[in-house]
Structure 1
Amino acid sequence: MSKIYVIHENSAWVEPLRAAFAEQGLPYEEWFLDEGALDLAQAPPQGVFYNRMSASSHTRNHRYAPEYTAAVLAWLESHGRRVINNGRALQLEISKVAQYAALSNYGIRTPRSIAAVGKRHIVEAAGTMPGSFITKHNRAGKGLGVRLFHSVKALEDYVSGEAFEPSIDGITLIQEYIRAPEPYITRVEFVGGRFLYAVRVDTSLGFELCPADVCQAGDAFCPVGQEAPAAPAPRFQIVQGFDNPIIERYQRFIAANGIGISGIEFITDENGQIYTYDVNTNTNYNSDAEAAAGLYGMQAIARYLGEELRGLRAGQARPEPALDTA
């Protein structure tokens, strides 16, 4: 009997999805792909495969989980299995350079960014920025490695010091700093390629913006080394009635890149211009924000995967058409 297969490397992030599966009576199995062996001569089971591999897997000592997952997804796709967030989606999850290149094809503006390998090139790239800039890892997740600098000298001191954090793939992005009139970003969630909701995220406590409950303890990081002010409101708030033309562009982008479930983040500058800076194909949700709004992402994901599974089973049960021998 076919079922839903959840591909991941972080059990804590899957707990709300397990509860949603149980509530909806959906059969599922988890594939924890931190390591393993893949026999390419074998055919995969029938089912719907949901890829939740994360760009931050290396922070949980699962260094090669994305590479192993890429192999598994290639195997599944070669056998025609239904994969939600396929191999192309995984490529975008683990590379912001790939994200930005793909976003630009749909008229989606991203911050000016320079990808640099090597400390000397990081500093030289920063010298081309006209004002303040940030550094970030090409493969990161949760905003890890994001730092704000107001001078090249400050960056040079950081890069040459013990506090420097290299990206796991060796690529550091130097990116123009987008100054927003208020300290928040917007994250737009999609399930089944359709808009679910938008959430406003307070950035006054720093740049580690993972919305999952397990990310909330001890994740505050002040990027300029000063004491962060207390947040005047909940850090995550769902925006009621959110409507923006960017949604349609995002939908075209995710449909063309094998993405069924995602959260896309953008910031709006002082002139009202939107800059998209992150695509999360391993999206999580904040329970407090969802409870306040009465909207629940993991339940929506379970419903979507359940619909995909029922469609698959209906196709499997449909008899083959008779051959016309006349």
Structure 2
Amino acid sequence: MSKIYILHENDEWTNHLTKRLDELELPFETWHLDQGIVDLTAEPPEGVFYNRMSASSHTRNHRFAPELAGGVLSWLELYGRTVFNGSRALNLEISKVNQYTALERNGIQTPKTIGAVGRENIIEAAKRLGNIPFITKHNRAGKGLGVQLFYSIEGLEEYINGPDFEEPVDGITLIQQYIQAPEPFITRAEFVGGKFVYAVKVDTSEGFELCPADACRIDDLYCPVGEESGEAPMFEILNESEIDKEQISRYEAFLKDSGIDVAGIEFIRDVNGEVYTYDVNTNTNYNSDAEAKAEKYGMLELAKFLGNALEETKKIMN
């Protein structure tokens, strides 16, 4: 029987989608790709395949899940299966260098960034960047991995040569221009089927390690999802009147050009009103409190999208 297949490595993040698929009475199966087999001698099953592989899988002891997912996606694409967030999307999910080059190729401004491998080269990259303050982050990341703010090269040297330095899983540390916003928030635009769904304002006053999902762990600490910060919620879905439609159109064109069907794109405005886009999350999650207040539901839209795609594939098969 033709069905929806979900490729992933984290049940906690996938359950929100499968509940919606159950509500819509859609047939589905989950493939947990922490480990497994890619049988190139066999033909894949019929259906629709949706990739939810995460760049932070190694933090859950699923070190090689992205590599296995890459092989599975290549196998599915070889046989012409309908795949959403396929191999091109995965390449961007697991590399911010790839994200930034793809964004810039589509005329979307990103913060000045230099990648480096090796501790001495990280320090040299910071000197070459020429921006104070600056931040570091991991190239294959998620959950704010490796994000540190520095106000001097000396501070970076102390961190790099000290016991607290976090080695990136792919070896690449990014040194990036720090964007100072006039107010402590960033915006995340959500897309399903390459089309805009909504944008959420995220309070950044608690720091860099931000995650909109209800099930979000950063080391042993829970991020304050849904908690109140003063009188304003940490996550708040914006009204249509607050959205820059031209910017959204540029993002949609970028997604189409990059082979990405489902994503959350994060951006920030500096004190001069310049917009910098700094993250593309193809394993996007949603905050239930913000959605309930706005009566907009990302996982429901995604489930409907996958259901419609399944119906289209059945028509073609018949």
Please classify the TM superposition score into its range, dividing by the shorter chain length. Answer: over 0.9
Show the counterpart of 2:17: 17
User: How far 1:15 moved relative to its partner?
Assistant: 1.2
Provide the C-alpha distance between the structure 1 equivalents of 2:28 and 2:304, rounded to a whole number of angstroms: 13
Provide the C-alpha distance between the structure 1 equivalents of 2:131 and 2:83, rounded to a whole number of angstroms: 43
Identity %: 58
Show the counterpart of 2:205: 204
State the SS of the aligned residue for 1:89: helix
Per-residue CA deviation, residues 91-128 of structure 1 (Å, 9 max, x unaligned), is: 00000000000001111000000000000010111113
Show the counterpart of 2:151: 150
Does the aligned pair in 2 maintain the 1:205–1:231 contact within 8 Å?
A: no
Question: Residues 3 and 135 of structure 1: is their aligned pair in 2 closer, same or farther, counting only changes over 3 Å?
Answer: same
User: How far 1:88 moved relative to its partner?
Assistant: 0.3
State the SS of the aligned residue for 1:214: coil
Provide the C-alpha distance between the structure 2 equivalents of 1:195 and 1:216, rounded to a whole number of angstroms: 27
**1:304 aligned to 2:305?**
yes
State the SS of the aligned residue for 2:233: coil
5+ long unaligned stretches in structure 1 = 222-228, 318-326
**What amino acid maps onto 2:122 in structure 1?**
I
Provide the C-alpha distance between the structure 2 equivalents of 1:106 and 1:173, rounded to a whole number of angstroms: 21
Show the counterpart of 1:295: 296
Does the aligned pair in 2 maintain the 1:184–1:202 contact within 8 Å?
A: yes
User: How far 1:37 moved relative to its partner?
Assistant: 1.3
Question: Residues 15 and 312 of structure 1: is their aligned pair in 2 closer, same or farther, counting only changes over 3 Å?
Answer: same
User: How far 1:230 moved relative to its partner?
Assistant: 5.2
**What amino acid maps onto 2:162 in structure 1?**
G
Show the counterpart of 1:178: 179
**What amino acid maps onto 2:124 in structure 1?**
E
Aligned ranges for residues 303-322 of structure 1 at < 5 Å?
303-317=304-318
Provide the C-alpha distance between the structure 2 equivalents of 1:232 and 1:144, rounded to a whole number of angstroms: 29
Alignment TM-score, normalising by the size of structure 2: 0.95
The structure having more radius of gyration, on CA atoms, is: 1
**What amino acid maps onto 1:29 in structure 2?**
E
User: How far 1:219 moved relative to its partner?
Assistant: 3.9
Show the counterpart of 2:67: 67
Show the counterpart of 2:136: 135
| Moved segments of 4+, more than 6 Å | none
Show the counterpart of 1:40: 40
**What amino acid maps onto 2:170 in structure 1?**
D
Per-residue CA deviation, residues 52-82 of structure 1 (Å, 9 max, x unaligned), is: 0000000000000000000000000000000
Provide the C-alpha distance between the structure 2 equivalents of 1:180 and 1:231, rounded to a whole number of angstroms: 19
Question: Residues 231 and 214 of structure 1: is their aligned pair in 2 closer, same or farther, counting only changes over 3 Å?
Answer: farther
Provide the C-alpha distance between the structure 1 equivalents of 2:159 and 2:308, rounded to a whole number of angstroms: 50
Does the aligned pair in 1 maintain the 2:113–2:177 contact within 8 Å?
A: yes
User: How far 1:232 moved relative to its partner?
Assistant: 4.6
User: How far 1:231 moved relative to its partner?
Assistant: 5.1
Does the aligned pair in 1 maintain the 2:132–2:150 contact within 8 Å?
A: no
Greater mean alpha carbon deviation, residues 200-209 or residues 112-121? 200-209
State the SS of the aligned residue for 2:143: coil
5+ long unaligned stretches in structure 2 = none
Per-residue CA deviation, residues 270-321 of structure 1 (Å, 9 max, x unaligned), is: 011000000000000000000110000000000000000000001111xxxx
User: How far 1:130 moved relative to its partner?
Assistant: 2.9
Aligned ranges for residues 71-90 of structure 1 at < 5 Å?
71-90=71-90
Greater mean alpha carbon deviation, residues 138-147 or residues 168-177? 138-147
**What amino acid maps onto 1:201 in structure 2?**
V
User: How far 1:243 moved relative to its partner?
Assistant: 2.3
**1:258 aligned to 2:268?**
no
Provide the C-alpha distance between the structure 1 equivalents of 2:150 and 2:222, rounded to a whole number of angstroms: 20
Matched positions, count: 310
**What amino acid maps onto 2:237 in structure 1?**
I
Does the aligned pair in 1 maintain the 2:216–2:223 contact within 8 Å?
A: no
State the SS of the aligned residue for 1:169: coil
Provide the C-alpha distance between the structure 2 equivalents of 1:107 and 1:72, rounded to a whole number of angstroms: 31
Show the counterpart of 1:238: 237
**What amino acid maps onto 1:105 in structure 2?**
R
Provide the C-alpha distance between the structure 2 equivalents of 1:23 and 1:54, rounded to a whole number of angstroms: 25
